[in-house]
């Protein structure tokens, strides 16, 4: 009787010890997972913080270039306005979409893609020229046959006037593209945290320029007007690229700032969860020690 009575509590105590050991094993595994995730999120936070600093530097440089490019673009638009050049009825349009090849900058490329998609729903036969692979990937799913030309390797650095004129010449000298006016869709820089999709229109023939109500005041012959047409288009492409680049750098800085804030919030939550798990594990170990001492 004494042996049997003493045997039962020992069995129950052993079962409790096995259960506590199993809980400790599960807690250890959970704590290791939390610790690994905490380390991963911390590394990501360091990366996004560094990318934010780089984007801030590039934003300042891009804004300076944008202020210079705006002078070219505003001058071109002012000439078109002062010369009285208007869009003829039933004119064939070419839409030039300005984006880049880079990501990690929020929905800035989606804004020009949405604007272009809504425009093409009403003008399904309009031909497209896409600058940048991001907009091309978004537009190609719905309008693959509309895309006639695509330019990539854009967005790594601030666009230059030479790059813009090369793109303009490739479009103007392409025999497969026939149009009367070009409509450039780009991201307009509003502020460091805001941008919007906008368009600018440029004539594509000397006849349109000659048809301007006030063009005779400039006393230019046909050869000069031909060069002027190319110059106007190159200026507007340059303005669109540089303005979009400045908006993209600002959006990238905002995106990296938001990513850093989210990572820091997640680090706080994971640290709290880890500390609670560690505290529970220490409590279980103390209970195990006290239970073992009581059994002895």
Query: What pLDDT does 267 receive?
Result: 93
Classify domain 51-255 at the CATH superfamily level: ATP synthase, F1 complex, gamma subunit (3.40.1380.10)
Q: How many Cα atoms are found within 13 Å in the side-chain-facing hemisphere of 151?
A: 23
Summarize pLDDT for 90-122 with one digit per residue, the tens: 888 999 999 988 887 878 888 999 999 999 998
Query: What pLDDT does 29 receive?
Result: 52
Residue with more model confidence, 53 or 88: 53
Structure-token pair, residue 232: 């106007």
Beta strand pairing call for 181-191 and 194-203: antiparallel
Summarize pLDDT for 261-296 with one digit per residue, the tens: 999 999 999 999 888 888 888 888 888 888 877 777
Section 232-242 average pLDDT: 92
Summarize pLDDT for 178-227 with one digit per residue, the tens: 888 999 999 999 888 888 999 999 988 888 888 888 887 777 777 788 88
Q: Which of 171, 221, 228, 223 is nearest to 203 (CA)?
A: 228
Summarize pLDDT for 117-165 with one digit per residue, the tens: 999 998 888 999 999 988 998 899 889 999 999 998 876 788 899 999 9
């Amino acid at each position: 009787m004494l042996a049997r009575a003493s045997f039962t509590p020992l069995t129950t105590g052993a079962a409790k010890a096995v259960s506590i050991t199993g809980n400790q094993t599960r807690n250890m595994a959970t704590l290791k997972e939390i610790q690994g995730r905490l380390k991963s999120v911390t590394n990501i936070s360091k990366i996004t913080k560094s990318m934010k600093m780089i984007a801030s530097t590039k934003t300042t440089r891009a804004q300076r270039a944008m202020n210079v490019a705006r002078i070219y673009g505003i001058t071109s638009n002012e000439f078109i306005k002062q010369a009285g050049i208007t869009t003829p009825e039933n004119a064939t349009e070419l839409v030039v979409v300005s984006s880049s090849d880079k990501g990690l900058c929020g929905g800035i490329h989606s804004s020009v893609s949405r604007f272009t998609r809504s425009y093409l729903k009403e003008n399904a036969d309009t031909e497209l020229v896409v600058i940048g692979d991001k907009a091309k990937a978004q537009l190609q799913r719905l309008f693959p046959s509309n895309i006639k030309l695509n330019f990539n390797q854009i967005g790594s650095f601030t666009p230059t006037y030479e790059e813009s004129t090369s793109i303009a010449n490739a479009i103007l000298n392409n025999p497969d593209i026939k149009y009367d006016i070009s409509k450039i869709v780009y991201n307009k820089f509003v502020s460091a945290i805001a941008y919007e999709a906008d368009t600018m229109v440029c004539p594509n023939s000397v006849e349109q320029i000659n048809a301007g109500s006030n063009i005779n005041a400039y006393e230019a012959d046909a050869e000069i007007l031909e060069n002027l047409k190319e110059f106007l288009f190159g200026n507007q492409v340059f303005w669109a690229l540089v303005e979009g680049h400045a908006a993209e750098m600002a959006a990238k800085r905002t995106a990296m700032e938001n990513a850093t804030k989210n990572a820091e919030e997640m680090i706080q939550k994971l640290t709290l969860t880890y500390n609670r798990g560690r505290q529970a594990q220490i409590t279980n170990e103390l209970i195990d020690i006290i239970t073992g001492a009581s059994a002895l």
